Amino acid sequence: MNTSKPVSKVLVLDDCPAHAQALKLFFDEHNLIALKVRDSNRLGSVLATNIDLGGVLLADNYGGSVEQAATSAARINALRPELPVILRSSGHAPLERLPKPLTNAVCAHFNAADLTALREAVDQYIFSLDFPNALVRGIAEITQARLAALFDGVTVQRDTPSIVRDRIIFGEVFSLIPLEGNWCRGYMLMQAEEEPLLGMIDRDRAAREPGMGAEQPGFRDLNDVLGELTNLIWGAFKNRFLGQQNAREASQVQVPLLVNHKHRYISFGSDNPQLRFQYRLSDAASGQSVSIDQRFVFNLSWSPEDFSENAMDVDDLVESGELDLF
């Protein structure tokens, strides 16, 4: 697996052991993390609890029959229509004779004897956007530094960046800020669960003002902290990756964002995948921890060939406050 590139999680609905080893090697070579679902009865709960998926690989005989596989495909299409479903054909029945609910739900198909079609489907439907390594690395560096500065004394860890197509909201609170440049137009989304973040804010206040008996933080304090974090990351992102580039004409097309609170769903009006970062802040002394979910959605414009990084020397970094000298 190439650790310098984002990964993507794929839900594997295939209970045939004959092709397991070949698929495992394929996943490792193509930066895919496979999540196996052996019991089709648990599919609904798995879809509900995994909100960072890039796609689904479905065997046409999953669950023991084509009919059972069609039922699973229909459930996926109903619960998570944004996820691309790639079908592994067993070869026992021609595609045109498979049930309509199955063929209607899939975007591509392949035979395990030749994984060329699978590779093409992964490139087209999962890794359809190429995120420059400098961008991925830079976002992680910027965000980890701001988190450590905002919450003094905590340990900041992050997972490997991933490509997701999920539109399910993480936690109860999120911030959204636009990104505008010559090579991209879209949004940065910061999400968190309310109670753990409130606990971390309370811990931070107590550490900064010991013995003061500070008032318990409320949701407005949480909003302020998440807003400050978003602005700090956005400012650093702008300086490092957008620089003095002129944003494209303001008259360009905009698309509405849709949020369904009941279903914890957000749509940016585009099928483009999202670049996701997951950070964990933890305090060993108190045992408190909080997860921050960060996503970049380039739904309005994406031209990675025009991407450039503003390389600052040490003097510039010190002057801007990015570095301190001992």
Does residue 207 surpass a pLDDT of 80?
no
Does residue 33 surpass a pLDDT of 90?
yes
For residue 77, CA distances in Å to 13, 51, 133 come to 14, 15, 33
| Per-residue pLDDT, 51 | 73
Q: What is the pLDDT of residues 178-197, one digit of tens each?
A: 999 989 999 999 999 999 99
For residue 56, CA distances in Å to 72, 73, 147 come to 11, 10, 33
For residue 108, give the nearest of 99, 90, 95 by alpha carbon.
Answer: 95
Does residue 248 surpass a pLDDT of 70?
no
Tell me the average pLDDT across 142-155.
Answer: 93
Does residue 62 surpass a pLDDT of 70?
yes
| Per-residue pLDDT, 263 | 84
| Per-residue pLDDT, 244 | 63
| Per-residue pLDDT, 271 | 86
Does residue 313 surpass a pLDDT of 50?
no
The answer to whether 275 touches 237, Cβ cutoff 8 Å, is no
Does residue 58 surpass a pLDDT of 50?
yes
- Any idea which of 75-84, 201-210, 281-290 has the lowest mean pLDDT? 201-210
Tell me the average pLDDT across 298-319.
Answer: 73
List of residues 6+ apart from 204 with CB closer than 8 A:
151, 152
Tell me the average pLDDT across 222-251.
Answer: 82
Q: How many CB atoms lie within 10 A of CB 325?
A: 5
Task: Find tokens 């495992």 and name the residue.
Answer: 24
- Any idea which of 27-41, 72-86, 119-133, 267-281 has the lowest mean pLDDT? 27-41
Does residue 19 surpass a pLDDT of 90?
no
Does residue 143 surpass a pLDDT of 60?
yes
Task: State the Cα–Cα distance between residues 84 and 120, nearest whole angstrom.
Answer: 13
Confidence of residue 85 (pLDDT cuts 50, 70, 90): very high
Q: What is the pLDDT of residues 275-305, one digit of tens each?
A: 999 999 999 888 899 999 999 999 999 999 9
- The model carries a pTM of 0.82
- Topology of domain 133-320, CATH: Chemotaxis protein chec (3.40.1550)
| Per-residue pLDDT, 309 | 85
Does residue 93 surpass a pLDDT of 90?
no
The answer to whether 244 touches 312, Cβ cutoff 8 Å, is no
Confidence of residue 145 (pLDDT cuts 50, 70, 90): very high
Q: Higher pLDDT residue, 271 or 157?
A: 157
- Topology of domain 8-125, CATH: Rossmann fold (3.40.50)
| Per-residue pLDDT, 253 | 66
Task: State the Cα–Cα distance between residues 5 and 172, nearest whole angstrom.
Answer: 29
Mean pLDDT of the chain: 87
For residue 53, give the nearest of 10, 86, 94 by alpha carbon.
Answer: 10
First-to-final CA distance of the chain? 39
Domain positions in the chain are 8-125, 133-320
The answer to whether 280 touches 290, Cβ cutoff 8 Å, is yes
